[in-house]
Amino acid sequence: MRTIPLPWTAVYGLARTLVALATLGTVLLSSTDTLFRPVSGIEESVGCGGVNGIGVFCLVPEDRLTAARLLCVAVLLVVASGWRPRWTALPHAWVTFSVWGNVAISDGGDQIATILALLLTLTALGDPRRFHWDRLPADRAETPVSRAVALGCLSALVVVRVQMSLVYFQACVAKLPHAEWADGTVMWYWATHPAFGAPGVLQPLVDPVIRNPLGVAALTWVPLAIELGLAVALLLPQRWRWRLLAAGVLFHFSIGLMMGLWSFSFAMWAGLVVLCCPLGAHLAVRRADAATAPTASPDADADADAASRRRLAAQPAAAEPAVDEPAGGEEQPAAPPAAPTVTPAPARAGG
């Protein structure tokens, strides 16, 4: 019988936390008057047209919007902590959708966060753990129903992966017809933009780069290469996905730092975690005093296992994230203290 990895790991939990933090930053650090106010062509303070009418902020009077906002903050804090994902899945999706649909001016980060929250809801509804950071018990009983639930929950993560690949593909190819992207000058316009340009403290570092032809061309074309690489990440070996994950995290950190779009950056980080980490993998801390490496069955990508074997054979003390190979009769080499690793979930469901 072919086995599939169980989806309920700390990797998917990290993605949920990042999505919650993306929305939390918007509702916590923005005042009620900033979030809900008339904008050009729209007289209502709260956007309640069509399906948006089911949002949290459309169900309360306008003088209670602050109370509703603080309630959303509390829900998002609980979600970010990882407590009871099965119970918090639907409230998380509702709050995230409400922020995207009801605030006066939502951005791409709110939209991405809503899509990811809705897709991760299916996985979270089947999550039996108390915290989404915990491991499932190794002796967890399996039934045909539990296997079907695991397969359905895993499918949601697969859809997230495909969604993120399409997002990065569209982000790359949509820029190519524009002359400023083709000639490598577009970042000069963005960096000098009064609203989205570099903040004053960074201008002494950014100005010499954008005024140099090679510097501004690199700032323009390197993001295109990263986006294209992430678009095809699912077709690449796992060792390349780790590199693309690092490049993507740095790329979106730069966007947050330069343009102040932190909610967008957090939401995209969440999608990157699901896109680039092996399905069924765990985040773990390996300690030097452990007699053997953590054992697991081979439910992550085969290429990740092969890369792990090569690293363990050549560099036992490597600090690079790795997928541990299956348990065997031999002792595994000890790893350095507090080095982050990613290990496949020990439990399985039959497909």
In sequence order, the 6+-apart residues with CB closer than 8 A to the CB of 102 are 36, 46, 47, 48, 52, 55, 56, 57, 58
Give the integer Cα–Cα distance in Å for 240 and 184: 26
Give the integer Cα–Cα distance in Å for 149 and 13: 18
- Token pair, residue 13, equals 């939990």
Strands 348-350 and 339-344: unpaired
Q: What percent of the chain has pLDDT over 70?
A: 80
| Chain center to CA of 246 | 13
82: left (phi over 0), alpha (psi -120 to 50) or beta: left
Exposed, middle or buried by CB within 10 Å (0-12, 13-18, 19+), for 322?
buried
Q: What are the tens digits of pLDDT across the range 302-321?
A: 444 444 444 444 444 444 44
List the beta strands (DSSP E) in the chain. Answer: 3-5, 281-286, 339-344, 348-350
Give the integer Cα–Cα distance in Å for 249 and 256: 11
Q: What are the tens digits of pLDDT across the range 118-156?
A: 999 999 999 999 999 999 887 777 888 989 999 999 999
Q: Hey, where are the domains in the chain? A: 3-174, 179-221
| Chain center to CA of 48 | 28
Q: What are the tens digits of pLDDT across the range 225-240?
A: 999 999 999 999 999 9
